[in-house]
Amino acid sequence: MSIEISNESGVDVDEVMLVAVAGFALEAMDVHPAAELSMVLVDDETMAELHLRWMDLPGPTDVMSFPMDELTPGGRPDAPDPGPAMLGDIVLCPSFAAAQAASAQHPVDHELVILTVHGVLHLLGYDHAEPEEEKEMFGLQGRIVDDWYVEQRRDESRRRQEARDSSLLDRIGFTGGDTRRDR
């Protein structure tokens, strides 16, 4: 996946995490590994302008998605490989997300994870205008976010174990050579 991110919001955000969660969501949705995605983080004023221009709604919002190529997640098994595509742009407003996170009483990073997955799903054609669509989209969004956190915990556990192993090997003087002993 090629995921570009540009932070024009003036807010310090964990950009590496946002790229990683977007990649995770795309992989979970079986999007071609050479697909491209752009993420832009903007301030309230810029988001309000985009919201009014594209949705005819006043004020800022949390996330907007602008799809480029039409894709179907997973596709049909007998369909030819669709190849790489430019998925489009996800625009996030970290300051708006921070206010939502405070209201929901969870960390801003968690809110940005949710919004990134939400934006990816919109790029892939999911919507929540109708009750059935909303149920499908938010169910899928919840599963991807939950799976993301499971993967993060696994990675953190693996890193801690590797650090303990390395520390132990250093203490006993292991150099990584041949461990067989002649008897």
Residue 51, annotated ligand binder?
no
Residue 101 Cα distances to 10, 76, 155, angstroms? 18, 38, 25
Task: Provide the pairing of β-strand 36-41 with 2-7.
Answer: parallel
Q: Are 87 and 37 in contact (CB under 8 A)?
A: yes
DSSP state letters, 99-125: HHHHHHTS-HHHHHHHHHHHHHHHHTT
Cβ burial of 62 (10 Å; 0-12, 13-18, 19+) is buried
Residue 128, annotated ligand binder?
yes
Residue 106, annotated ligand binder?
no
CA 74 remoteness from chain centre: 18
How many CB atoms are closer than 10 A to CB 104?
11
Phi, psi of 40 (to 5 degrees): -125, 130
- Binding site membership: which residues? 118, 122, 128
- Binding site membership for Zn(2+): which residues? 118, 122, 128
